[in-house]
Chain A
Amino acid sequence: MKFEIVKLNKFNGNKCGVYSIFVDNEQKTLFDRFISENNISFKHEIRNILERLKTINSITGAREKYFKLNEGNPGDGVCALFDIPDSNLRLYCIRFGNSLIILGGGGEKQKTVKAFQEVDKLRDENYLLREIAAQIAYLIKEKEITFSDDGTEITGELEFENYE
């Protein structure tokens, strides 16, 4: 699979860089997909997620407590933007400290017995992000990906492939 990390420039604050990912030849990023998949059914929640991302981007930074950590493999940074028990959606991200987040995909949480496909959706999105996180971690180790001094920008080999 091919990946490209892009900067979501609508989030133009300076407390935290907000990025997302193109997978293979998709026309939409993972985050775009998440929004369009859920905007009709859960408009209010999508709006709340966007507002919180704006606050994180321009005022507070990506503070730890705003996320459910350890949603991926140990230390890979995969987490979820905090969702209250009553909410319907979960959004996965990769968090690099308070200054940079890469938004992945997500979906509806398992609250009642759902159709097989829907339950798997969340799991698939999570696993996809774990793969991407592992690849990024490798590239960071190899110094092919670096961060700016203030940590809000990611630079280097931002188009990469995942070798199976």
Chain B
Amino acid sequence: MSKKARNYTSDILDELLSEITSEEQRRTDKRMLLAARIDDAMKAKGWRKGDLAREMNKQPSIITRWLSGTNNFETDTIFELEDKLGIKLINTEEKPREQILYFHLNVSQMINTEEYVDRFNEPKSINSYASWFGNNYGRC
């Protein structure tokens, strides 16, 4: 039997957490996620901090800061990272929404279904071109 940890919360923690607006949280989330994407892209290329530092012509300590999730990037840095790491970080192309036109019509019609039979032995029907050939074959 494994004893779980006691659940605990404090007033001060509650109060401070509730003061965080969703916009602020979202911004922090995005910064952290961006850092994670850069980290993952580096791993995919087998690059360590030193390698990226060399590519970007920066000190390794700057790379550490970029990966920490606390950095507010300049867009030029983002663009260069996109190039060096071969990933897309920001969407700069506007994707057009698909234009759709809708049309509608109702029409009534009396129809005549037939059983699917051998055409050549049936009496001629005006609706069937194939049946014209029957007895007229050979006449010119």
Q: A–B direct touch, CB within 8 Å, in complex?
A: yes
Interface residues of A (CB under 8 A from B): 4-10, 19-20, 28-29, 31-32, 35-36, 39, 46-48, 50-52, 54-56, 59-60, 63, 65-66, 82-84, 146, 153-158
Report Cα–Cα, A15/B69, bound state, in Å: 16
Taking A55-B32, A84-B68 as contacts, is the C-beta distance between A6 and B6 under 8 angstroms?
yes
Closest 6 CB pairs of A and B: A155-B2, A82-B68, A51-B28, A6-B8, A65-B67, A9-B7
Q: Which of B18-26, B103-111, B113-121 contacts A (4 or more CB under 8 A)?
A: B18-26
Interface size class of B (residues with CB under 8 A): 20 to 34
Does the CB pair A52–B6 fall under 8 Å? no
Contact among B4, B5, B10, B71 for A28, CB-based, below 8 A: B10
Tell me which of B33-41, B86-94, B127-135 binds A: B33-41
Judged by a CB distance under 8 angstroms, whether B13 is at the interface is yes
Neighbour of A9 across the interface among B8, B33, B39, B67, CB < 8 A: B8
The answer to whether residues A51 and B20 also contact, given A65-B68, A66-B35 and a CB cut-off of 8 A, is yes
Q: Is the CB of A158 within 8 A of B29?
A: no
Q: B139: CB under 8 A from chain A?
A: no
Chain A interface, DSSP helix/strand/loop, else mixed: mixed
Interface of B is mostly: helix
Q: Give 10 A-B pairs besides A4-B6, A5-B5, A66-B35 with Cβ atoms closer than 8 angstroms.
A: A6-B5, A7-B7, A9-B7, A48-B28, A52-B32, A54-B25, A65-B64, A66-B32, A82-B70, A156-B2
Bound CA span A66–B31, Å: 11
B14 near A: Cβ within 8 Å?
A: yes
Q: With A and B bound together, what is the CA distance between A153 and B4 in angstroms?
A: 8
23 CB-based A-B contacts, threshold 8 Å: A5-B5, A6-B6, A7-B4, A10-B9, A10-B14, A10-B17, A19-B5, A32-B10, A35-B13, A47-B20, A52-B32, A52-B69, A54-B28, A60-B36, A60-B69, A63-B39, A65-B36, A66-B32, A82-B65, A82-B70, A84-B68, A84-B70, A155-B4
Closest A residue to B14 by CB, please name it: A10
State in angstroms the CA–CA spacing of A82 and B35 once bound together: 13
Task: Tell me the bound Cα distance from A52 to B56 in angstroms.
Answer: 26
A65 touches B69 (CB 8 A): yes
A29-B10, A84-B70 known; A7+B16 contact, CB < 8 A: no
- CB <8 Å contact, A39 and B12: yes
A153 touches which one: B5, B8, B19, B65 (CB < 8 A)? B5
Contact of A51 among B5, B13, B25 (CB under 8 A): B25
Knowing A10-B17, A19-B5, A35-B16 are in contact, say whether A82-B10 is a contact too (CB < 8 A).
no
From A39, A46, A155, contact of B5 by CB (8 A): A155
